Structure 1
Amino acid sequence: MAQHPLLHSLQWTIPEGHGCLERPPAEQVLSQFLQLFASRGASSDAKAGMIRDLLAILEAVDCQWLFGGCHPNAAPTLLRDMVVTLRLYAAPPQQQEPEGGGLPIGDPSYAAVASRAADVSLGFISIVAKVESAKGLERLGTAVVGPVLRQVAGPLYLFAVTHVAERLWTTPKTRRMAQELMDGLLRASDCRSVPEFLRGAREDETGWLAVVMQCLKPELTKDTWQRSPATKHVFSCTLQHVTRPWLGPHLEKVLPPSLLLSDDYREENKILGVQCLHHIIRNVPAADLCQYNRAQVVYHALFNHLYSKEARLLQVVLLCLLDLLPILEKALQRLPHNPQLVTPSDEVLQLVLTHMESEHRLPLRRVYARNLPAFVERMSCRLAVLLKALLRMMLDVATDRSLTPEPVKAELLQKATECLILLDHASHGQVKVLLQGVQRSCQDETLKECLRKVEEEPLKSIITP
Structure 2
Amino acid sequence: MWDLLQNESWLGEEELNRMMFSLFFLHLSRMELASLLHDLHLSTSSEEEPLPFLPPITELLSRLQEELNGSPESCSLIGRVEQLFLAADPNWLFSPASQDGGWAELKAAYASLISALIGCAALPLCDDDCSPLSVAAYKSIPARATAVCTALTALLRTLGDWEKGVGTRKGATSLLIAVAPPICVFAVTHFQDQVWTSTASRAAAQHLQEALLSAGGWRDSAHLLMGDTEESRGILGEILHILQPQLTKDAWQRCEAMKLVFAWTLLQVTRPSLSPHLPHLLPPSLLFSDHHRPENCMLGVRCLHHIVLNTPAAELRQFNRAEVLYQALFKHLYTTEAAVIQLVLACLLDLLLILEKPPSCSSSRRKPCRHDDVLRLILTHMEAENKVVLRRVYAAALPAYIARMGVAVCRHLRRLERVVLGYLEVRDPPEETTRLKMLEALQKTARAAWPRMQCRVNALLRCLLRLLVDVSSDTDLCDSLKQQLMDQSAACIRLLDACSHGSVQHLLQEVDSSCCSPEVLGCLATVTAMTDR
Please indicate the TM-score interval, normalised by the length of the shorter structure. Answer: 0.7 to 0.9
Asked if 2 retains the 8 angstrom alpha-carbon contact of 1:424 and 1:430, the reply is no
User: Which of 350, 365, 374 pairs up with 2:391?
Assistant: 365
AA matched with 1:108:
A
Deviation at 1:458, TM superposition (A): 6.7
- Percentage of identical aligned residues: 36
In 1: Cα distance, 2:449 partner to 2:162 partner: 71
5 Å-filtered alignment, 1:201-220, equals 201=228, 207-220=234-247
1:241-281 deviation digits (Å, cap 9, x = unpaired): 11122222221121111111111110000001101111111
Asked if 1 retains the 8 angstrom alpha-carbon contact of 2:85 and 2:158, the reply is no
Q: Counterpart in 2 of 1:112?
A: 140
Matched, 1:175 2:202: yes
**Matched residue of 1:261: which SS?**
helix
**What's the TM-score, normalizing by structure 1?**
0.76
5 Å-filtered alignment, 1:243-258, equals 243-258=270-285
Matched, 1:123 2:137: no
1:142-196 deviation digits (Å, cap 9, x = unpaired): 73251x1232111011011111122211122222221221112112222111111
AA matched with 2:405:
M
Matched, 1:352 2:394: no
User: Which of 123, 128, 131 pairs up with 1:103?
Assistant: 131
- From the superposition, tell whether residues 302 and 426 of structure 1 become closer, same or farther in structure 2 (CA, over 3 Å): same
Asked if 1 retains the 8 angstrom alpha-carbon contact of 2:285 and 2:300, the reply is yes
Q: Counterpart in 2 of 1:13?
A: 43
5 Å-filtered alignment, 1:200-279, equals 200-201=227-228, 207-279=234-306
Q: Which moved more, 1:47-56 or 1:287-296?
A: 47-56
Asked if 2 retains the 8 angstrom alpha-carbon contact of 1:191 and 1:201, the reply is no
User: Which of 172, 181, 200 pairs up with 1:144?
Assistant: 172
Asked if 2 retains the 8 angstrom alpha-carbon contact of 1:6 and 1:50, the reply is no
Q: Counterpart in 1 of 2:106?
A: 75
Structure 2 unaligned spans of 5+ = 1-29, 415-440, 453-497, 505-533
- From the superposition, tell whether residues 216 and 340 of structure 1 become closer, same or farther in structure 2 (CA, over 3 Å): farther
AA matched with 2:181:
G
**Matched residue of 1:367: which SS?**
helix
Asked if 1 retains the 8 angstrom alpha-carbon contact of 2:359 and 2:405, the reply is no
- From the superposition, tell whether residues 78 and 37 of structure 1 become closer, same or farther in structure 2 (CA, over 3 Å): same
Asked if 1 retains the 8 angstrom alpha-carbon contact of 2:409 and 2:448, the reply is no
Matched, 1:134 2:165: no
- From the superposition, tell whether residues 61 and 19 of structure 1 become closer, same or farther in structure 2 (CA, over 3 Å): farther
**What's the TM-score, normalizing by structure 2?**
0.67
5 Å-filtered alignment, 1:283-298, equals 283-298=310-325
Q: CA RMSD in A?
A: 3.9
Asked if 2 retains the 8 angstrom alpha-carbon contact of 1:5 and 1:53, the reply is no
Deviation at 1:106, TM superposition (A): 5.8
Asked if 2 retains the 8 angstrom alpha-carbon contact of 1:158 and 1:234, the reply is yes
User: Which of 32, 43, 60 pairs up with 2:63?
Assistant: 32
AA matched with 1:345:
H
AA matched with 1:118:
T
Matched, 1:92 2:123: yes
Asked if 1 retains the 8 angstrom alpha-carbon contact of 2:342 and 2:393, the reply is yes
AA matched with 1:369:
A
AA matched with 2:81:
L
Q: Which moved more, 1:160-169 or 1:6-15?
A: 6-15
Structure 1 unaligned spans of 5+ = 391-410, 412-422, 435-452, 460-465
- From the superposition, tell whether residues 28 and 82 of structure 1 become closer, same or farther in structure 2 (CA, over 3 Å): same
Q: Which moved more, 1:248-257 or 1:49-58?
A: 49-58
Asked if 2 retains the 8 angstrom alpha-carbon contact of 1:5 and 1:50, the reply is no
AA matched with 1:92:
L
Deviation at 1:432, TM superposition (A): 6.2
Q: Which moved more, 1:305-314 or 1:74-83?
A: 74-83
5 Å-filtered alignment, 1:296-311, equals 296-311=323-338
Asked if 2 retains the 8 angstrom alpha-carbon contact of 1:51 and 1:120, the reply is yes
In 2: Cα distance, 1:270 partner to 1:175 partner: 26
In 2: Cα distance, 1:273 partner to 1:142 partner: 45
Asked if 1 retains the 8 angstrom alpha-carbon contact of 2:135 and 2:196, the reply is no
- From the superposition, tell whether residues 20 and 371 of structure 1 become closer, same or farther in structure 2 (CA, over 3 Å): farther
AA matched with 1:131:
L
Structure with the larger helix share = 2
- From the superposition, tell whether residues 142 and 293 of structure 1 become closer, same or farther in structure 2 (CA, over 3 Å): farther
Deviation at 1:119, TM superposition (A): 1.4
Deviation at 1:43, TM superposition (A): 4.4
Deviation at 1:77, TM superposition (A): 0.8
1:179-214 deviation digits (Å, cap 9, x = unpaired): 221112112222111111111136997522111111
Asked if 2 retains the 8 angstrom alpha-carbon contact of 1:114 and 1:169, the reply is yes
Deviation at 1:52, TM superposition (A): 2.9
AA matched with 1:370:
A
In 2: Cα distance, 1:203 partner to 1:363 partner: 50
Deviation at 1:301, TM superposition (A): 0.7
1:68-121 deviation digits (Å, cap 9, x = unpaired): 255452421110111122223313222121xxx732446734231111111111
5 Å-filtered alignment, 1:275-424, equals 275-330=302-357, 342-380=368-406, 383=407
* Structure possessing the higher relative contact order (Cα contacts under 8 Å, 6 or more residues apart): 1
Asked if 2 retains the 8 angstrom alpha-carbon contact of 1:247 and 1:284, the reply is yes
In 2: Cα distance, 1:273 partner to 1:179 partner: 25
In 2: Cα distance, 1:111 partner to 1:29 partner: 31
